[in-house]
Chains A and B, each alone.
Chain A
Amino acid sequence: MPQPSSPSIAALSLADLPGRDVAVRHLRHPGRWISGGIVVLLLALIGHAFAVGQIQWLVVGQFLTAGVIITGFGWTLLISACALVLGVALGFAFGIMRLSENPILRFAAWLYVWIFRGTPVLLQLLIWFNIALVFPRLYIPGLVDERMVDVVTPFVAAVLGLGVNEGSYLTEVVRGGIGSVDSGQKEAAHTLGMTPGQTMRRIILPQTLRLILPVLGNSAIGMLKFSSLAATIAMGEMLNAAQRIYFINGAVIELLFVCAVWYLAGTTILSIGQYYLERHFGRDAATATSERRWFRGWARRPAVEGEA
């Protein structure tokens, strides 16, 4: 087909218009092919560099399923889960307090966020771990009377440190989530005669949960990684276990890579879980969270599954 030498829209006369079934030729995108090629090349170079670098891949494979590492990863999961539960509980408690009519409750919640969001989490972990220096005994009349070092084990310190810190972030998230539930929802509940507690539990919080679910997913993923900080307070989680091994056998990078593999596996599973959780809770399409397809290839089923 001959190309017009100087394409001018004005020069096309009505008599020359094609029929209604005229074919359409799409633009080519050579830029996409070139940039794609460059990225593939770079990835190959990086892959090659690591393949020929001074890493004993056999050692990586060998320690990937070593008992100490698996046990460590178990602790990592346990710390993360406990700290997340604590963080979410504190986040909801203080988030609701932040919106209280009572100025003292509001202030207490503000203070909590100010302190625990305003200091590094590593520092907080160290303080919890050494809390026995301040309070040698934990004494609650009739309930507990023990030495603090026996109560605040490295595990407890890790859960407290990570959970209380996470709670301070989630407080603000919950506050924002509650605030963005339409005030008409509350009014409707009131006119039905629902008490403030019933309104919060049955109307406001379920909708808040939907709104903040993506953030909670990110918290879970973040928590899994932050739990590695517990290695610094002698908690035998995965990173700490890896360190103890490479102090002996010197295979530093190999063991760090082993950790990387496990962390990636964990965060990947959490991401998938988050996707399905959001899709489930996004059922009423009131929130568009299920539209955030992180990995489009995984599940293509529609977010709204029609009316049951």
Chain B
Amino acid sequence: MNLAIKAVGIRKSFGNHEVLKGLDLEVAYGEVLCILGPSGSGKSTFLRCINHLETPNGGYVWVDGAIMGYELSRGALQELPIKKLRAQQSQLGMVFQHFNLFAHRTVLGNVIEGPMVVRGLSRAKAEAHAMDLLEQVGMAGKASSYPSQLSGGQKQRVAIARSLAMEPRVMLFDEPTSALDPELVGEVLEVMRNLARGGTTMIVVTHEIGFAREVADRVVVMIDGEIRETGAPGQVLSNPADPRVRSFLSRVLA
């Protein structure tokens, strides 16, 4: 098993409220991991700690040979300059609940922004790659539209293409379908399903139990800032050992 991500003892507090209570997690290349849990359990915060959108108060994240945001020096974690942190962050693709497409750029402009500005690709190369990706998510026909002209599902598919354009090692999804109208959820899940089939390493924070059951290799259930259950979806979803996980699942599956 080739490890992509190893999170060690991640703790995070907002004020006096301890959101994450020392989480450990390993994700292998090619694996699709779904993180489930009631709202407020800290699953989004955990995801945001993994790519350092939130700086953990304790613990660290190892991503394919380097520690996010730090380098090990004389037995301590030395903070990295912001530019190096950003370079690390660009190795983890992030898809947000609210899409966060750049409002002043077209669909194509959104997808080529990272490759051109961060990678220094030529416009022609970036556009060619971007059109391939937009084709892949079924949005090539809207390349010159602005985000405000798209439906939620379309925006999310563009956001996925934008993340993929940086050719990240791992894709992180933060409740990608939670802000969508019910009839638009399917098109986004379909794109994600295809990614998973293609071997993309994915960590998906979601409420879509059906998606987790069908696509995930492994499911993690978080409650109150702790991982309470982890394992194959069939086992965790049908026969959880932890009583609190059982009560959470009985509520969402009801």
Contact = CB atoms under 8 A, between A and B. Distances in A.
Contacts of A191: 51, 53, 89-90, 92-94, 163
A187 B82 contact: no
Contacts of B104: 206-207, 210, 284, 286
B146 A286 contact: yes
Contacts of B51: 191
Contact of B103 (A194, A202, A207): A207
Given A184-B98, A207-B103, A207-B104, A284 B117 contact: no
B205 to A, nearest CB: 15
Nearest to B101: A188
A300 B139 CA distance: 32
Given A189-B102, A284-B147, 8 more contacts: A184-B100, A187-B100, A190-B53, A191-B53, A191-B89, A195-B86, A203-B102, A206-B104
B146 to A, nearest CB: 4
Nearest to A182: B100
B9 interface: no
Contact of B148 (A193, A196, A284): A284
A-B pairs with the 5 shortest C-beta distances?
Answer: A193-B90, A192-B114, A184-B100, A284-B146, A191-B94
Contacts of A188: 94, 96, 100-102, 159, 162
Interface residues of B, number: 33
Given A184-B96, A203-B102, A193 B146 contact: no
Contacts of A182: 100, 103
Contacts, number: 83
Interface string B99-116: 111111000000001100
A208 to B, nearest CB: 10
Contact of A283 (B89, B92, B94, B146): B146
A192 B147 CA distance: 18
13 contacts: A184-B96, A188-B102, A188-B159, A189-B102, A191-B51, A191-B93, A193-B87, A194-B118, A195-B82, A198-B117, A198-B118, A307-B149, A308-B144
A253 interface: no
